[in-house]
Amino acid sequence: MLDIKDLVVEHGNMRALFGMTLNVRQGERVALLGANGAGKSTTLGAIAGIYPPRSGSIRFKGTEIAGKPAAVNVVSGIAMVPEGRRLFTGMTVQENLELGAYAPSLRKGVQDRLEGIFDMFPILKEKRHQLSGELSGGQQQMVAIGRALMSKPDLLLLDEPFLGIAPVVVHLVMDALRKIAEGGVTVLLVEQNVHRAFEFAERGYVIEHGHVIMQGSAHDILDDPDFSAKFLGVD
């Protein structure tokens, strides 16, 4: 479904990705792991179309999308839940959700999708007319996930969805993400906490200095002595 090859991305004149190569098959749940600043968010941003790459290829469902704008990629089936959620805090929960389906080609079935999101996160139905800035961190994360689902994605990109939310809500969000994946959505997740990442993902890539240094099943990565020496215990 997603094939990234030799991807180079720069922020201004600072290079963040130095030839990233990775792939995600249809229906998979894959985690990007690695320290702060390794290039995980930049990778998601390049896929979504927020950071146009300097060179390299991003193929999505067989089509080259490197450099295509985010608004085009959303319609093609790529939705991103950015780090820190980035909601419009002065707008209501429902207005934020509806923004996920703003493109004309996504308008059909909006009401049904909205109901589906309210079934998944009943608290959002209760608070649908409340300003999203008044919600707790976990509830805001539910809105951000719901907003992404409103665009009917085939591929969902999640940047640290558990960051800054209460432990009890982590389980709710984890269960929802599992249901979303079981419903056929392919998921690429950035998560610093390795154990939490593999509670969800079946396969992972370890990123360092803008490229992949290790990849494999959850089992392979967790059992790798180099990996444990470097990353475990630093959650």
| Binding interface with ligand ATP (CB under 6 A) | 11, 14, 16, 34, 36-42
Residue 166 φ then ψ, to 5°: -65, 145
- Return the number of the residue (36 or 63) whose C-beta is nearest ligand ATP: 36
10 Å CB burial of residue 71 (0-12, 13-18, 19+) is: exposed
Output DSSP code: residue 202. S
Q: C-beta of 34: minimal distance to ligand ATP in Å?
A: 6
Q: C-beta of 44: minimal distance to ligand ATP in Å?
A: 8
Among the listed residues 52, 42, 45, the one whose alpha carbon sits nearest the alpha carbon of residue 80: 45
Q: C-beta of 209: minimal distance to ligand ATP in Å?
A: 9
3-state helix, strand, coil in the chain (%, to 5): 40, 25, 35
10 Å CB burial of residue 219 (0-12, 13-18, 19+) is: exposed
- Return the number of the residue (34 or 146) whose C-beta is nearest ligand ATP: 34
Q: How many residues does the chain have?
A: 235
- Return the number of the residue (130 or 215) whose C-beta is nearest ligand ATP: 215
- Return the number of the residue (39 or 113) whose C-beta is nearest ligand ATP: 39
Q: C-beta of 137: minimal distance to ligand ATP in Å?
A: 17
Identity of residue 90: G
Q: C-beta of 207: minimal distance to ligand ATP in Å?
A: 6
- Return the number of the residue (138 or 210) whose C-beta is nearest ligand ATP: 210
Rounded to 10 degrees, what is the CA torsion of 148, 152, 155, 161? 20
